[in-house]
Amino acid sequence: MRGPHNIWRLVRTGATFERTGAMGVILDAYEAPPMLRLGARILGWPFQFLGLKGDEAMPPVPRALTALGPAYIKFGQILSTRPDVVGPELALQLRVLQDKLPPFSQQAARNAVELELGQPLEQVYSEFSGPVAAASIAQVHHARLAENGADVAVKILRPGIERAFRRDVDAFYLAASLIEGLSPSSRRLRPSEVIKHFEGVVNAELDLRLEAASASEYASNTKDDPGFRLPAINWAYSTRRVMTMDWAEGLPLGDNDALDAAGLDRAALGERVLTLFLNHALRDGFFHGDMHQGNLKVSLDGDIIAYDFGIMGYIDEYTRRVYAEILFGFIKRDYQRVAEVHFEAGYVPHDRDVDEFARALRAVGEPIFGMDATRISMGRLLSYLFEVTERFGMETRTELILLQRTMVVVEGVSRSLNPNINIWEVAQPVVGDYIRKSIGPRALLRDLGRTAQVMARFGPRLPGLVERALSQQMAETPPSPRHSWRMRVLWGAGGLALGALIMALIESL
């Protein structure tokens, strides 16, 4: 669908941005060069009468995105997690973007359920309410299962949403290519890669089976976490466009008056939210990427209940260890070690000076540690850290940006429950425990054991792989006899040592 016909969509988009005042905000946030500003104005200013008016009570950018529809709203939400792309001020504006749209009809919801589940709605749900929440991609209904009377939430994709998103994403790709052509300096922000990331997130959310799978994995990881639970997925009544899960009954985590009236300890809840997030990010490497008050409830017995698993974050084990060492280094104010970790991980180019980098990190950490407990922020620390690492040539890492954004949100939730919470005191035992378990002699032995298992599986193929690699190298650059002799000795000694290590480790497992 990509092609010149998308120009009309861009003209309409530009006209709406111009009419709502969003165009100037975005160009200023990007510090756009003259050529890009001229191109944007050409697309917007002459045609602004074609633009949508939007809700005048909203800030300019959220106003324009809301007026343009679901794909633009979702794009704004995802950009709110990327301050590296849109800047911190615009990202903050986008976080208040209301993910609420008029619901689609009850008849359309009924038709979707019956088409997806292959039976009349009454045979599945004895009760089926009107929509209780309507967002850009789907809406939710409260229902009761006919077979056992269980209270459930039924999430249903908007009719035609897949086609609408495909159409708008095509226009986004065209806009990204135009931006890159008009402003070569914008290529460092990789507009096309941002659109690709957006497309991947949306494609995952347009298949509710994937969200159900995320919820299932998240529940498996956290089943033993005290004071935390998730609504269970009902797989029998979940498909690509319909998802059924237990109804989450509880008090909104953002309603402090209701929490106080129920006699719940808000300070303990604030600490638990932060501790849970850190455990999920470090221990599991799989965390809720949208952990704000709207997606959290508290049961009357004090359990925190999380739901809406459309945005989940994943961090591989190596990155988790690096992240933990960086956090722990800042907690201990060991800036030299934090700098060394960045270089060891390859985050900062090795041609930069590690001591100079350590001094820059000290300039980030010391002012924060000088604050009182109510102002200390791990999210602010990470934000400053990314600014420094960018100056030293560190490339953007999307998974860390989502982690940093979620950390800011979780801190906000914790502080809304207890304004006097000391973020570092809560974080230190969690990070320290992860460090002890993940970095040290036991972790080294565990890693070697895993390596041995992998090598054992591929053991029969190793001689052939080595022989082919050596044959290719010798064919490309024939070595001297002396060099060839040394290579044979090195490979032979290395092979014997590796074989001995593998055998010893396998016997010890």
- Give me the active site residues, please: 290
Count other Cβ atoms within 10 Å, centred on residue 15: 22
Distance CA 260, CA 470 (A): 71
Q: Exposed, middle or buried by CB within 10 Å (0-12, 13-18, 19+), for 80?
A: buried
Distance CA 77, CA 198 (A): 10
- Nearest CA to 140 out of 10, 358, 308 is that of 308
Rg of the chain over all Cα atoms, to the nearest angstrom: 27
Residue with tokens 């967002």: 135
Q: Exposed, middle or buried by CB within 10 Å (0-12, 13-18, 19+), for 81?
A: buried
By residue count, the chain amounts to 509
The DSSP bridge partners found for residue 131 are 141
Residue 206 contacts residue 137 (beta carbons within 8 Å):
yes
Residue 265 corresponds to which tokens in the numbers above? Answer: 């300890």
What does residue 138 show for φ and ψ, rounded to 5 degrees? -150, 170
Distance CA 368, CA 376 (A): 6
Give the alpha-carbon dihedral of 208, 210, 214, 215, to 10 degrees: 30
What does residue 325 show for φ and ψ, rounded to 5 degrees? -65, -35
